[in-house]
């Protein structure tokens, strides 16, 4: 039977990394943790780190690409990124291991299909990733300032979603950050808030969504309780039974095995506008 296994190894401004596998493909989305710590978390979660084949980068910010060059040099794995991201890396992988990706053009790796999706963020050609094995479909979407229709369109029909809920607007505005940084975060190329994440969730929620992970929570401008409350309100409104969890900066979450299943109809979700 076809299946996809995913595991959020780390999520937050201190480093981001997600494991995804299908068939013979074992890949990481982002490499924001040191190689040794990534290996440790994989082994603790029961993931075969020694069989790693590929690394996909969302963008060049250090909390997503810190160890990209080291992964290439030490492990000899292929490193996939947009041309803009690859050019912006401070420590790029060896040239022979670089694989250019382009938003809207899927990469097929054995049984795993990986689709880059362009995002509005203050980086050089950043993307989200949607991955599937032909039977189940999942996505990781973080580091975006808003969600245009092109993003919403690519997130339909998911079995699992890792979704940014970066900040609570009130906490951000009343917090210690300088005004310029607050404006950057709230801007259309910054990070989405709990309210924006909830609005995006409402637009992609359907009966087949089984797992929802809230990701990239700010340590200073958010709390797990704030983010959970925003997501649960949407799930409850539309009668969803999706399992909800929150990504951690300090530990890996339990791996999720996604196998084909029949979707359960939801009450029709009203389209909610996302604000920048």
Note the pLDDT tens digit of each residue in 100-113: 999 999 999 998 99
Output the pTM of the full model: 0.94
Total count of residues recorded for the chain: 276
Closest CA to 28 of 44, 5, 60: 5
Note the pLDDT tens digit of each residue in 151-164: 999 999 999 999 99
Cα Rg of the chain (Å, integer): 17
In a domain, 89, yes or no: yes
Count: domains in the chain: 1
For residue 24, what are the domain limits?
Answer: 4-258
- What is the rounded CA–CA span in Å between residue 121 and residue 38? 25
Note the pLDDT tens digit of each residue in 123-178: 999 999 999 999 999 999 999 999 999 999 999 999 999 999 999 999 999 999 99
For the record, the structure tokens of 130 come out as 């949607």
- The CATH number covering residue 117 comes to 3.60.15.10
Phi then psi for residue 235, to 5 deg, are -60, -45
In a domain, 275, yes or no: no
Note the pLDDT tens digit of each residue in 193-211: 999 999 999 999 999 999 9
In a domain, 74, yes or no: yes
Categorize the per-residue pLDDT at 2 as very low, low, confident or very high, splitting at 50, 70 and 90.
confident
27, 174, 183, 220 from 178: Cα distances, Å = 37, 10, 9, 13
Contacts of 236 (CB under 8 A, 6+ apart): none
To the nearest 10 degrees (0 to 180), the angle between helices 68-75 and 35-44 is: 80
9 and 19 Cβ atoms separated by less than 8 Å: yes
Contacts of 250 (CB under 8 A, 6+ apart): none
In a domain, 211, yes or no: yes
pLDDT of residue 272: 43
In a domain, 273, yes or no: no
Q: What is the mean pLDDT of residues 72-81?
A: 97
Contacts of 148 (CB under 8 A, 6+ apart): 120
In a domain, 270, yes or no: no
In a domain, 159, yes or no: yes
Closest CA to 32 of 9, 6, 51: 9
In a domain, 29, yes or no: yes
- What is the rounded CA–CA span in Å between residue 210 and residue 265? 12
Categorize the per-residue pLDDT at 273 as very low, low, confident or very high, splitting at 50, 70 and 90.
very low
């Amino acid at each position: 039977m076809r299946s996809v296994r995913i595991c959020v190894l780390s999520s937050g401004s201190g480093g981001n990394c997600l494991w995804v596998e299908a068939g013979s493909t074992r890949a990481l989305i982002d490499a924001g943790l040191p190689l040794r710590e990534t290996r440790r978390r994989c082994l603790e979660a029961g993931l075969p780190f020694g069989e790693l084949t590929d690394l996909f980068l969302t963008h060049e910010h250090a909390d997503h690409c810190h160890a990209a060059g080291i992964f290439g040099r030490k492990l000899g794995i292929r490193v996939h990124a947009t041309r803009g991201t690859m050019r912006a890396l401070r420590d790029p992988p060896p040239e022979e291991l670089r694989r250019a990706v382009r938003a809207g053009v899927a990469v097929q790796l054995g049984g795993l299909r990986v689709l880059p999706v362009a995002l509005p963020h203050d980086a050089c050609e950043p993307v989200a990733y949607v991955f599937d094995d032909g039977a189940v479909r999942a996505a990781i979407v973080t580091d975006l300032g808003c969600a245009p229709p092109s993003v919403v369109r690519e997130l339909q029909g998911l079995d699992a979603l890792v979704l940014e809920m970066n900040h609570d607007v009130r906490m951000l505005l009343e917090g210690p950050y300088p005004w310029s940084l607050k404006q950057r975060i709230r801007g259309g190329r910054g990070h989405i808030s709990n309210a924006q994440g909830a609005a995006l969730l409402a637009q992609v929620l359907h009966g087949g969504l089984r797992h929802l992970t809230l990701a990239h929570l700010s340590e200073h401008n958010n709390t797990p309780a704030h983010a959970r409350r925003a997501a649960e309100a949407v799930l409850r409104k539309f009668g969803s039974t999706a399992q909800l969890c929150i990504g951690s900066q300090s530990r890996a979450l339990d791996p999720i095995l996604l196998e084909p299943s029949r979707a359960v109809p939801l009450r029709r979700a009203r389209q909610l506008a996302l604000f920048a």
